[in-house]
Homo-oligomer: A and B are copies of this chain.
Amino acid sequence: MKRDDATRFRSFLEGFRWQDVDRLAYKEEGSAPFKAITRQELFADPDMACELRYFEMEPGGYSTLERHEHVHAVMILRGRGHCLVGREVRLVKPYDLVTIPAMTWHQFRAAPDEALGFLCMVNAARDRPQLPSEEDLRELESDARVAAFLDGSPTA
């Protein structure tokens, strides 16, 4: 969308909301597994080649385990949780940076007792995410740390 003068400045509001930014469903319900996560599109300007979104999970919430050709550039903004990238599981905290390379399985999970919010920069033109097959899941779960993460009990 083009921004007129009034929307060149958009204030940060309580509860990690922003002026003139809607809090949206993460994805269409039933389209993929996820839990207690919302999406806010902070910048999606037709003159920019990328978008910047803010995702937030409630305590215990998680994003979809998926992969795609496009790259994600993530900065954690609030809270605490764990992140899976490939077979690496890491504890993440505010301002940490996470790069998700092409075709790499990834998922974010908020801590059981704390929300997790992060910025995600992504190309405006991008492919659709792929979900893991049963075989992909078995392969991922063959790694004990990955299995613990997917089970909601990360040990990192």
Contacts and interface: CB of A to CB of B under 8 A. Distances in A.
A3 B74 CA distance: 14
A30 B79 CA distance: 41
A12 B121 contact: no
A45 B3 contact: no
A42 B97 contact: yes
Interface residues of A, number: 46
A136 interface: no
Given A48-B50, A50-B121, A101 B8 contact: yes
A147 interface: no
A119 to B, nearest CB: 8
A50 B53 CA distance: 14
